[in-house]
Structure 1
Amino acid sequence: MGAAVAVVAAVLASVGVGVYALTDDDGDRSTATSQQQGGRDDERGAPEGGGPGGEGDGEGDEPRRVESGAVTDSLSGISLPVPEGWYGEELQVGAALTSKESYDCPGDASKTCVKGGAYSAPAVVLGTRGGTAEEVAKADIAANAEESYGGEAYGRITSHDVLASKAVTVAGQKGYLVRWRAVTQEGSDGFVQSLAFPSPSRPDQIVVVRFGVDTDQRQTVLDEITEGIEVAEGGRGSGQDV
Structure 2
Amino acid sequence: EQDPKTRTAPPSELAQSSAPTSSHPAASPSDDPSRVTDELNGITLPVLDGWQKAENVADDYTFITTPGTYDCPEDDWGLCRRGTVSTRTVTSTDETDPEVLAKKDVKEAADTSYDKTPGGGEPFGGMTGHEVVAARQVAVAGRTGYLVRWKVTTKTGPGGYVQSVVFPSSSGSGALVAVRCTLDVSDASPPLTDLDRIVKGIRPVGGSGGGGVGSSLGPSR
Shorter-chain TM-score above 0.5: yes
Q: Pick from 177, 183, 200 the counterpart of residue 227 of structure 1.
A: 200
Q: Which of the pair is proportionally richer in helix?
A: 1
* TM-score normalised by structure 1 residue count: 0.67
Q: Pick from 55, 59, 82 the counterpart of residue 115 of structure 1.
A: 82
Q: Which amino acid aligns with 1:229?
A: I
Structure-1 separation of matches of 2:66 and 2:106: 21
Deviations 1:57-114 (A, max 9, x none): x8xxx98697831000011110000021222259997661111032001124341000
**Aligned pairs (5 A) from 1:72-221:** 72-89=37-54, 96-124=63-91, 130-151=95-116, 152-202=122-172, 204-216=174-186, 217=189, 218-221=191-194
Q: How far off its partner does 1:223 sit?
A: 0.7
Count how many residue pairs are aligned between Structure 1 and Structure 2.
185
Q: How far off its partner does 1:123 sit?
A: 1.4
Return closer, same or farther for 1:96/1:175 CA change in 2, 3 Å cut-off: same
Q: Which amino acid aligns with 2:131?
A: D
| Identical-residue share of aligned pairs (%) | 36
RMSD, aligned α-carbons: 3.3
Partner of 1:238: none
* TM-score normalised by structure 2 residue count: 0.73
Task: Decide whether the 8 Å contact of 1:72 with 1:95 is kept in 2.
Answer: no
Structure-1 separation of matches of 2:86 and 2:31: 14
Q: Where do 5+ consecutive residues of structure 2 fail to align?
A: 1-5, 14-19, 117-121, 208-221
Deviations 1:5-44 (A, max 9, x none): 2x439x9xxxxxxxxxxxxxxxxxxxx95987xxxxxxxx
Residue 8 of structure 1: SS of its match in structure 2? Answer: coil
Deviations 1:152-194 (A, max 9, x none): 1112111101100000000000000000001011112110001
Structure-1 separation of matches of 2:77 and 2:104: 32
Task: Decide whether the 8 Å contact of 1:194 with 1:209 is kept in 2.
Answer: yes
